[in-house]
Structure 1
Amino acid sequence: MSEMVIFDRAAVAAHRDRAAARLGRVRPVLDDLASRLLDRLDDTGRVFARALDIGGRGAVTPLLAARGIAVVATDLSPRMVAAGHGDVVADEEFLPFGAACFDLIVAHLSLHWVNDLPGALVQIRRSLKPEGLFLASMPLLGTLGGLRAALIEAEAALTGGAAPRVSPFPELADCAGLLQRAGFALPIAERETIDFDYADPLALLRDLRDAGETNATVARARRMPPRELLAMALASMVMDGRLVVRLDMAVLTGWGS
């Protein structure tokens, strides 16, 4: 396991617990992103029988089931599973499955809070049958970049310093290298960019909370931020009365060997 601990996994689970009852508010976005990812299955020309859905928050499993695929879904959050958005409570860093269990494994926007990503990918590859497919998505460097910069600038102006308030994300080239390092055959990492347009800037923060995507870095500030921080940061991002934020999403594919 990697010795580097960037994310507080207990906080990740707590944020997902809190989001379990709120997913309906962001369901259209989660479903659309899952559909974009799973469209890649049509390009494979393969028929899959048994799939593992890692942390899909109820967006991936129905789409796979509609293709006639038997699905086992996991989530780090017990409340997410209790709410029907998974079957098994499981940590992505310690998957409770044996070798060659699935011919398809999907990890949709769930691996970016993992500390030991190389180790998690090795476990996923081992749980994949020979010639099975691993399909994943994760945010890339540049995602929420405007929010990151605005928060740093506003907090520095208010307090003279700034705490990390947006998660670090990998670069695209790193993703393909991680797949190859984990032993996947024919690793591919592609970029897909989606812009989100908000009339109410605060709606961005609500969406992140309702999706379970709020800050869970170990180095995050534990005290309440200055009252003016969020309003100042968001105001600096608004142009022509709108707030536009970008998701740079990596789409990863790799085959079992």
Structure 2
Amino acid sequence: MTQATTPRPQLFDRRAIAAHRNRLTPQALFLHDIARDEIEDRLSMVNRSFTSPALVAPFAEGWESCLPDAKHVADDETLDLAVGAHDLVVHAMSLHWANDPVGQLIQCHRALREDGLLLVVMLGGQTLHELRSALATAETRLLGGLSPRVAPMAEVRDLGALLQRAGFALPVADVVPLTAKYRDLQHLMHELRGMGETNAMTQRLKVPPSRHLFAEAEEIYRTTYATADGLLPATFELICLTGWSPSETQQKPLRPGSAKARLADALKVPETPLPK
């Protein structure tokens, strides 16, 4: 007799994500422009020519100069990527909305040929920490509890481990911190709507928040974080991931104890023995 399996809980509501993206304001996509610049910079440092790239992204616009011949793939839970079809996969500005980020990375790995390259850029855990704190404090004061309002995002130290779990070699994870400034909380929320980055958590409250909540949140935000010129700073943390499909031709780390020269000699300093 076959046992029924419990469906995996869905952290994000994919229908809500699609609806939010339909309200896109192109001028609000400055984060996507920065993400594209980061990808271009990383590709320029790789001494390789890629002939069959794929781009996993919510919007293909703006990527033509960076990846003119790339296959554009929607960031669905199941990616439209054929096994072994690509030598480069770029996953841009959407992995933070994935219900199964490891599964997404595994699908990208399967789509890569041997020694193929994966580049990911996504929002990380420090993104909008000021807004998260202000809303949490305001809601606790007014309502005596918290509800899901700002989506949780992964930290850079965890994402490097996800690359290894997905089977990638030579994994690297690094951070690009950014700060934007806004006139007030309404200005920030308007820009987040224009990016398609507003709350799409499955457990979000379905009723509109009260004006009192946002008024209280803005007062807390302004008191805690406002700049000298009265603007509200908002942190956006871009995390960039790099991984390679394993190949026998790739460099391998040396075995412990196999070094043929001492670090002290290279640095021209005396070697101090460790205490016993």
| Shorter-chain TM band | 0.7 to 0.9
Counterpart of 1:6? 11
Q: Does 1:188 align with 2:172?
A: yes
Q: Does 1:198 align with 2:182?
A: yes
Q: Which amino acid aligns with 1:252?
A: L
User: 1:243 aligned to 232, 244, 260, which one?
Assistant: 232
Counterpart of 2:91? 107
Q: Which amino acid aligns with 1:245?
A: A
Q: What secondary structure sits across from 2:87 in the alignment?
A: strand
Counterpart of 1:176? 160
Shift of 1:153: 0.9
Q: Aligned Cα RMSD in Å?
A: 1.9
Counterpart of 2:69? 70
Q: Does 1:35 align with 2:24?
A: no
Q: What secondary structure sits across from 2:48 in the alignment?
A: coil
Q: Does 1:253 align with 2:242?
A: yes
Task: Choose 128-137 or 196-205, whichever is displaced more.
Answer: 196-205
CA displacement, residues 16-40 of structure 1 (integer Å, 9 cap, x when unaligned): 2232xx2x22134421232123311
Instruction: Tell me if the contact between 1:61 and 1:73 (Cα under 8 Å) persists in the aligned partners.
Output: no
Tell me the distance in 1 between the aligned counterparts of 2:133 and 2:53: 39
CA displacement, residues 204-229 of structure 1 (integer Å, 9 cap, x when unaligned): 11111111111111111111111222
Structure 1: tracts of 5 or more residues without a match: 77-90
CA displacement, residues 48-94 of structure 1 (integer Å, 9 cap, x when unaligned): 122111115235522324xxx41111235xxxxxxxxxxxxxx1x21
Tell me the distance in 1 between the aligned counterparts of 2:155 and 2:32: 22
Q: Does 1:120 align with 2:125?
A: no
Task: Choose 129-138 or 235-244, whichever is displaced more.
Answer: 235-244
Tell me the distance in 1 between the aligned counterparts of 2:125 and 2:7: 21
Counterpart of 2:257? none
CA displacement, residues 155-195 of structure 1 (integer Å, 9 cap, x when unaligned): 12222222110000111111011101111111111111111
Counterpart of 2:125? 141
Counterpart of 1:51? 53
User: 2:143 aligned to 156, 159, 162, which one?
Assistant: 159
Counterpart of 1:15? 20
TM-score calculated relative to the size of structure 2 = 0.80
Q: Which amino acid aligns with 1:114?
A: A
Structure 2: tracts of 5 or more residues without a match: 1-5, 247-276
- Check 1:28–1:173 CA distance in 2 against 1; reply closer, same or farther (3 A cut): closer
Percent identity reads 36
Tell me the distance in 2 between the aligned counterparts of 1:202 and 1:33: 25
Counterpart of 2:192? 208
> What does 1:212-231 correspond to in 2, within 5 Å?
212-231=196-215
